[in-house]
Homo-oligomer: A and B are copies of this chain.
């Protein structure tokens, strides 16, 4: 079952319905996808998710207050991590792999710190440590991207996720086309209130303390483009440097969406890593 054809289901998490979709083959360690600022279920790239789902069980979900999930989006990464942990436990899972992208990468770090036994391996993409350079600026970068998109008639992700080269912009078009492949049962858009709460959480994360990274002893694959405008790439290097057991992969002529632009190469690395 490919993710873009998967039904959207809800599960009760401490009284709140959480929306999720699952794809792939059950049996091994499930991969939980943790998503970015503004993202709902439909924003996961099928090229990456279906590639993982060819040999793994993969679960995408809307965290509290996002998309079709109920409740109010919290204003800290720590609370988002607690909600994600509660969702994972509500599914009856006791050991998972995490793929956290951007804000989802922050959440993945906190899950691994707070519930180390719940996690086997993590991929942290387009992300950075607490206190990372330029992380607090993500809201301003988002605004700038939205303004450029409005002025040019393009999608904000043309500016925020991809480089401005021909190569980068062609990848943006291909990525957006993949996201539009799902035509039925699409998710609800995120509310402005939830975006605002996420930005508050991201700003606080950018002011945080990275020292807890040394506590994450799990295998970690850190991945990003070499020119990320949202979570500057130096943060991926910093993650790999501070994490005791991290592998780093950086893609050329690529921005925040580097793992989607280089989906085939990233997928191979991810499959090797999760093997």
- Give A residues with C-beta under 8 Å from B: 219-220, 226, 233-234, 237, 240-241, 243-253, 265, 268, 272
Contact = CB atoms under 8 A, between A and B. Distances in A.
A240 B250 contact: yes
A226 B250 CA distance: 14
Contact of A226 (B248, B249, B265): B248
Contacts of A248: 226, 248-250
Number of copies: 2
A244 B252 contact: yes
A133 to B, nearest CB: 13
B252 A226 contact: no
Given A245-B253, A247-B252, 16 more contacts: A220-B252, A226-B240, A226-B246, A233-B241, A234-B237, A237-B250, A243-B252, A244-B253, A245-B252, A247-B249, A248-B248, A248-B249, A248-B250, A249-B249, A249-B250, A265-B272
Contacts of A265: 247, 272
B268 A241 contact: no
A183 B234 CA distance: 45
